[in-house]
Amino acid sequence: MSGTLTIDDQTIPFTDGQTIIEAARTAGVYIPHLCHRPGYTPHGSCKLCTVKVNGRTCSACTFPAAEGQKVVNNSEELQEARLRITQMLFVEGNHFCPTCEKSGNCELQAVGYHLNMLDSHFPHFYAHRKVDASHPDILIDHNRCIFCNLCVRASRESDGKDVFGIAGRGIHKRLIINSPTGQLKDSNISVEDSAVQVCPTGAILVKRTGYKTPIGGRIYDQHPISTIACKKRETDSTG
Amino acid sequence: MTGNDTMKTFLETVLAEADYQPVRLLKILRAVQAQYRHIPATAIDFLSDKLNIPRTQIIAVVEFYSFLHATPQGRYDLLFSDSITDRMQNKESLLAYAAEILKVRVGEVRKDELVSLNNTSCTGMCDQGPAGLVNGYPLPRLDRPKIDTIAALIEQEIPLDDWPAELFQVEETIYKPGLLLTQPFSNGDAIKATFNRGLTETLAEVDLSNLRGRGGAGFKTALKWRTCAIQAATPRYVICNADEGEPGTYKDRMLLNLYADQVFEGMTLCAAIIGSTQGLVYLRAEYLFLYEKLQNVLQNRRDQGLLGTTILGQAGFDFDIEIRMGAGAYICGEASAQIESLEGKPGIPRTKPPNSVICGYLRKPTVVDNVETFFATTHIAIKGGQWFADVGTPQSTGSKLLSISGDCARPGIYEYPFGTRISEILSDCGAEEVMGVQIGGPSGTFISNRELERTLAFEDLSSAGSFMVFNHTRNIFDVVQNFTDFFAHESCGFCAPCRVGTSLLKNQLNKIIDGHGSAVDMEKLSEICMVVKNFSHCGLGETAANPILTTLASYPELYLEQLKRSGFSPGFNLDATLAIARQLTQRDDSGAHLSQQVEN
Ligand SMILES: Cc1cc2nc3c(=O)[nH]c(=O)nc-3n(C[C@H](O)[C@H](O)[C@H](O)COP(=O)(O)O)c2cc1C
Ligand code: SF4
Ligand code: SF4
Ligand code: FES
Ligand code: FES
């Protein structure tokens, strides 16, 4: 089965089993998102992709596309809320973009630009988070984790491992590592794993690759995320 | 044997009791917690290996549930229920007193590891508060002399079994039995009636009764059962939601304590109708005191041929019920989170579609219903649908159990036909000088004393059972703060708006209550409310802002007063900032507007 639906008055096709966000992406329509990556099981946790489907609030990354749906994506109300949610993610962790190696390649930052985010709006939590530099090739900076769960899924679904998990409740969420010591060096991760590449922020970085591309020449320095995101191929993991 | 070997032997026993099934992870971890007062890392590794699940799953479970701990708790783990009604009964000063005489700080474990002391979310003893728990068992009606007794028992290291029974005495006080609580019943009546009438015909009676789920959402029960019954996939499951975590709710406690047979019978006839062989009861950890009793009721029913194979001689009708305990998490009352929990995982609500009816426990069709819903179906099966539909209002048929707490002379259980006025309920329970009523718990609605002619009904004020009364001596902000803290504490943290938003709400509200808020802060508060309410993943987030929104709509002038204290700018249109609250609570009456001119 396949058919068409409309997003903000634009008619787009979809194929059976597609979610709204995937139908949109295929048609070149950008719906902001952070916890979604084509090819991985949808998660539906960041809520940035929230759209109205026939008047009802839905997550575009999990909601199945269906014939005749009227989807509102670009309304002022939705963009405003997306901005606030993005700001929530910024104040929850500790994001010092100017000193972050991911700057320019970071989806969180790029979504912030897309939504015209000028300040963090909410008071910062100043959470105490750690850095795990134990692994020879990979660095984890927990300060930048937004709990999108992509590394968890990538490790499980693509690498056939179970290196990551998310534990804790509420604001005490934390990323955990599957190893006897809890440190990355004692896990069975390897630098080639998709899980290492998939992180939308600078929470997982490959060591000794920093600043290869100078700031200014990076992905979202060149093009807004709204155009990049639609060009991405399935499980393409280049940010 | 070394300590490690002893632990392994213990874990092997626990694993064997759980049949080595990863879905029983909570049961296993509860046993480990009880034995070692925490879940040791070595146990996590051992269990991960034996159950063949990643250690990350076990750690995630340990960190998710309030009653599981990564570090050792005291041999006597003393918790105080921290609901607003406990606080109104002096809980704060009792807790401080306990800390003082036990020489332990709240939230800490004493150095000798004899005792730990902490707060916990509402334990469902709201009619007999202030209440506590010791090693999971309830201590109702605490006062200073009792705390002295408890402290002495702890210091003398008397085993819990030898503590005076009256310390643990839970009372069930029914002040007003109605339609259902007064029905005569003998075991098997409803099952017999169901088979005599026919399964399809009985489902038609449930349909005719127009019964809607008593757990909060008010979904039509017959529709849920029918949808489940027509699914091709098998096996199908029946789950009784006895998580009862909404503060102020304790009517399921009473039903399981006094009417368990009638609840199990409802599950059994549901099983017959939807074609299920396996039932589960998800019993909240705070109701551990009911566990043995319920096991005995189940065994009795097996002995009477009401559970097991060929129930009441019906060839091919096999059904049994297993009780699974929670481990302290309000979110596990949400049906899909409960299913996750029953599968041995953190209680994180699933993405819908698909609904649990289609893809529930172990991805099979599943009916999850509230305790009271099953109780009602038992009597509908016996008396027929019309009997039930004749009571209440057209949209809300039948009667509703309320568990009343707070400022009233007679806190306890009341059963009312839907459509009853709030004022009538207040007069029955002996409430005077009412400032407001919280209907449906923190996730429900706060109404002021100007709205007491409203009615109990899905179409007006709906409640899963919680009904808290506040008189004029109470500060509304104590209430709002307690509820807002509750949601921040209980948010599962899966989705960004609720995970971050509930904590932001808590901090923002504190700022205003502390008198540090300006008009801009009010606006920010409303804005966070809007994002949390409209963009969260599940019902917890959707309702987490209700305490603020509904009190703001009822008593805007009280919020205004808070702002006046700190350089309120008169140029600001505060009434306009209330627009979000009015819109979200669907109110536009004069009470929800600020009429007075702001004076500088
Ligand atoms: C945060 C949250 C907590 C809930 N807690 C309970 C509960 O303790 N007991 C309950 O029966 N339903 C609870 N529910 C409602 C359930 O999701 C579900 O609707 C209900 O169990 C269905 O049964 P019913 O149709 O018989 O009401 C809760 C829902 C949410 C969102
Ligand atoms: S480390 Fe990165 S990919 Fe993993 S959950 Fe955190 S933000 Fe997402
Ligand atoms: S709304 Fe809150 S409780 Fe519900 S899924 Fe989101 S974080 Fe969890
Ligand atoms: S992209 Fe849909 S919820 Fe995160
Ligand atoms: S810029 Fe550093 S995490 Fe995005």
Domain residue spans of chain A:
2-78, 129-208
Domain B77-167 listed as CATH 3.40.30.10: yes
The band of A239, judged by pLDDT with boundaries at 50, 70 and 90, is very low
pLDDT digits (tens, 9 = 90+) for B160-172: 999 999 999 999 9
* A187 confidence band (pLDDT: 50, 70, 90): very high
Give A138-162 pLDDT, tens digit per residue: 999 999 999 999 999 999 999 999 9
Contact between chains at B500 and A91 (C-beta distance less than 8 A): yes
* pLDDT of B572 strictly over 60: no
- B565 DSSP assignment: T
Quickly state the pLDDT bin for A1 (edges 50, 70, 90): low
pLDDT value at residue B565 = 57
The architecture that CATH gives domain A2-78 is Roll (3.10)
Which residues, including other chains, have CB under 8 Å from residue B241's CB and lie 6 or more apart?
B215, B282, B333, B335, B338, B368, B369, B370, B371
Quick one: how many helices (H) and strands (E) in chain A?
Answer: 7, 10
E runs forming strands in A64-187: 70-72, 131-132, 138-141, 164-167, 174-177
Confidence of residue A215 (pLDDT cuts 50, 70, 90): confident
C-beta of A36 in contact with ligand 5 (< 6 A): no
pLDDT in tens, B277-302: 999 999 999 999 999 999 999 999 99
Contacting residues of A for B353, CB less than 8 Å apart? 63-64
Stretch B355-381: mean pLDDT: 98
Distance CA B28, CA B19 (A): 10
Q: From the candidates A47, A79, A146, which should be mutated to test the interface with B, based on the most B CB atoms within 10 A?
A: A47
What pairing do the DSSP bridges indicate for beta strands B412-417 and B236-242? unpaired
Report strand pairing: B276-283 vs B236-242: parallel
Closest residue by Cα to atom 8, ligand 2, is: A148
Tell me the C-alpha distance between B501 and B499, whole Å.
6
Q: Please provide the DSSP assignment of B158-222 as one string.
A: --GGGS-GGGG-----EEE--TTTT----TTHHHHHHHHH-HHHHHHHHHHHT-B-TTSS--BHH
- What is the Cα–Cα distance from A34 to A39, expressed in whole angstroms? 14
Is the Cβ pair A170, B492 closer than 8 Å?
Answer: yes
Q: Hey, where are the domains in chain B? A: 3-64, 77-167, 176-389, 399-474, 477-562, 573-600
Atom of ligand 4 nearest to the CA of A49: 2
Which atom of ligand 4 sits closest to the CA of residue A59? Answer: 2
Give residue A234's pLDDT: 46
B311 in A contact zone (CB under 8 Å): no
Q: What is the pLDDT of residue B312?
A: 97
Q: What span, in angstroms and rounded, lies between the C-alpha atoms of A124 and B514?
A: 19
Is the per-residue pLDDT at B411 higher than 80?
Answer: yes
| Cβ distance of A171 and B493 shorter than 8 Å | yes
Q: Quote the minimal CA–CA distance from B500 to chain A in Å.
A: 6
| Residue B551: per-residue pLDDT | 95
Centre a 10 Å sphere on the Cβ of residue B71 and count the other Cβ atoms it contains: 10
End-to-end Cα, chain B, rounded Å: 77
Predicted local confidence at residue B1, as pLDDT: 62
Q: Is the peptide bond before A136 cis (omega within 30 degrees of 0)?
A: no
Ligand 3 midpoint to CA A50 (Å): 15
Checking if the pLDDT of B600 tops 70, the result is no
Average pLDDT over every residue of B361-368: 98
The 10s digit of each residue's pLDDT in B235-256 is 999 999 999 999 999 999 999 9
Residue B116 bridge partners (DSSP):
B77, B109
Give the end-to-end CA distance of chain A in Å, rounded to a whole number: 32
Q: CATH fold of B176-389, please?
A: Rossmann fold (3.40.50)
**Quick one: which atom of ligand 3 is closest to the CA of B349?**
5
Q: Decide if pLDDT at B576 tops 80.
A: no
Q: Pick from A44, A88, A178: which is nearest to B500 by CB?
A: A88
Min Cα distance B5 → chain A (Å) is: 19
A25 lines ligand 5 (CB under 6 A): no
Q: How far apart are CA A219 and CA B179, in angstroms?
A: 67
pLDDT band, residue B590 (cuts 50/70/90): confident
The DSSP annotation for B45-66 comes to HHHHHHHT--HHHHHHHHHHST
Cα separation, A52 vs A54, whole angstroms: 6
Q: Search chain A and give the residue with CA nearest B489.
A: A170
User: What amino acid is encoded at B520 in this protein?
Assistant: V
Q: What is the pLDDT of residues A87-112, one digit of tens each?
A: 999 999 999 998 899 999 999 999 99
Nearest chain B residue (CA) to A90: B500
* CATH class of residue range B399-474: alpha beta
Q: How confident is the model at residue B592 (pLDDT cuts 50, 70, 90)?
A: confident
Q: CATH fold of B477-562, please?
A: de novo design (two linked rop proteins) (1.20.1440)
Q: How many A from CA of B510 to the centre of ligand 3?
A: 22
The ligand whose atoms approach the alpha carbon of B444 most closely is 1
Q: Distances in Å between the alpha carbon of A113 and those of A83, B115, B260?
A: 10, 52, 58
- Residue in A36, A130, A146 to alter for ligand 2 test, most ligand atoms within 8 A of Cβ: A146
Residues of chain B positioned with their CB less than 8 A from the CB of A170: 488-493, 499, 502-503
Secondary structure (3-state) at A68: coil
The whole-angstrom separation of Cα B235 and Cα B318 is 12
DSSP for B532-553 reads HHHH-SSHHHHHHTHHHHHHHH
Beta bridge partners of B400: B416
Whole-number Å distance, alpha carbon B336 to ligand 1 midpoint, is 9
> Whole-angstrom Cα distance, residue B413 to residue B404?
6
A-chain CB neighbours of B527 within 8 Å are 84
Q: Is residue A238 pLDDT above 50, yes or no? A: no
Res A236 pLDDT > 60: no
Nearest CA in chain B to A124: B504
Chain A CB contacts of B56 below 8 Å: 162, 164-165, 167, 176-178
Is residue A64 within 8 Å of residue A15, measured between CB atoms?
no
CA–CA min distance B268, chain A (Å): 35
CATH number 3.30.70.20 given to A129-208: yes
Question: In whole angstroms, what is the distance from residue B599 CA to residue A30 CA?
Answer: 49
pLDDT score for B569: 53
**Selected residue of B535, B536, B537 to mutate for chain A interface (largest A Cβ count, 10 A):** B535
- With beta carbons less than 8 A apart as the criterion, state whether A225 and A31 touch: no
**A203 has a pLDDT exceeding 90:** yes
Write out pLDDT tens, residues B88-126: 999 999 999 999 999 999 999 999 999 999 999 999 999
pLDDT value, residue B3: 81
Q: For residues B481 and B502, give the distance between their C-alpha atoms in angstroms, rounded to a whole number.
A: 12
Q: What is the dihedral of CA A195, A62, A111, A38, to 10 degrees?
A: 40
Cross-chain Cβ contact A45/B534 below 8 Å: no
Chains A–B, number of C-beta pairs less than 8 Å apart: 117
From A16-20, B213-217, B266-270, B584-588, the region with the lowest mean pLDDT: B584-588
Per the rule left: phi > 0, alpha: psi between -120 and 50, beta: everything else, B262 is alpha
pLDDT greater than 70 at residue B529: yes
Q: Across chain B, what does the average pLDDT equal?
A: 95
Q: Which residue in B11, B168, B156, B14 sits closest to B75, CA to CA? A: B156
What percent of chain B is modeled with pLDDT above 90? 91
Q: What pLDDT shows up at residue A190? A: 97
How many angstroms separate the alpha carbon of residue B536 from the centre of ligand 3?
6
C-alpha distance from residue A144 to each of A130, A180, B328, B498 (Å): 10, 24, 29, 19
Is the distance from the beta carbon of residue A31 to the nearest atom of ligand 2 less than 6 Å? no
pLDDT band at A232 (very low <50, low <70, confident <90, very high): low
Mean pLDDT of A23-38: 97
List, for residues B184-199, the tens digit of each pLDDT value: 999 999 999 999 999 9
